Amino acid sequence: MNTFLDSLRFFIIIFAELTLLFLGISTLVGLIFEYVSDEKIRRWLSHKGWLGNFLGAAMGAITPFCSCSTIPMTVGLLRANVPFGATMSFVLASPLLNPIILGMFFTLLGWKVCVIYGAVTFIVAMISGAMVESLGLAKYVKNVRISGGHQEREKLPTFGKKLKRAFAGAWADFSSVLLYLVAGVAIGAFIYGYVPNDFVVRIAGPNNPLAIPVAAIIGIPLYVRAETVIPIGLALTQKGMSMGAVVALIIGGAGMSIPEMSMLASIFKVRLVVIFIFVVFLTAVLAGFLVNLI
């Protein structure tokens, strides 16, 4: 009974924290975008060189998109003639970085892990975007079209109406991930209450050198958002799993899941998809080892 109560307490506390965090940050981001037009965003991303890569990664880092939203956005950027390098920096950063994910890292796993995770994924997104453009890999983009064209958001006259629409968007996003969030917290609560510590330490503890690359690979067949697996990672770290392996699992699952790769294959040729997977895997392993070093 005590174990059940511990698991239930974990579930209630973590779910309440993540709900407030998700709605609060998502509303704030939505409110900011009420004052920034879509055309202005496209103009910002049209810069060439490192500035374009920085802005592309930054755009991916501030927009709370999952892969199902990232791919249509990517097609739109390509059709708007945004430089290929900036677009690829956006594609790499978008599923791995956003204010909600960073807020969850900071709240649940600590500021050091948050900083390393954010810095590594952002820098790799910038560098990789620049490299794929310099290597001429834009030729591996398929001929893509968006049906229906692009629609600008209606401009609202007052702050109150802008805030209302921002919260409505945040609530819609929260509703779309609610089942994933509940599943992640529930699995984390079960691990917290019922999985033996020594089992986790033996399989994925800090003394196992293969734990980080294996964790990154395990994430691939899982269709998980980072928001889903972070509470699971919290429970695993409390059971003895190395923080680096948790970070690798999060990046692998969120950045190169099979559904996302299928969607990427609809706009990229096979060689570019393989390069994308390699970059995400390298990011997961690098971030994992850096986290363990601290």
pLDDT, tens digit, 9 for 90 and up, residues 64-80: 655 555 666 676 677 76
How high is the pLDDT of residue 87? 87
Write down the pTM of the prediction.
0.68
Residue 229 lies in a domain: yes
| CA 100 – CA 106 distance, rounded (Å) | 10
Residue 32 falls inside a structural domain? yes
The verdict on residue 149 lying in a domain is no
Per the domain annotation, does 195 fall within a domain?
yes
Per the listing, tokens 């990011």 go with 283
Q: Rounded to the nearest 5°, which phi and psi values hold at 192? A: -60, -40
- Sorting pLDDT into bands at 50, 70 and 90, what band is 122? very high
Residue 153 lies in a domain: no
Q: Would 148 be classed as within a structural domain?
A: no
What is the count of structural domains for the chain?
1
Give the pLDDT band (50/70/90) at residue 13: confident
141 φ, ψ (degrees, to nearest 5): -90, 130
Highest mean pLDDT, choosing among 143-152, 246-255, 280-289: 280-289
Domain residue limits at 207: 2-143+158-293
In a domain, residue 270? The reply is yes
Give a yes or no: residue 281 inside a domain: yes
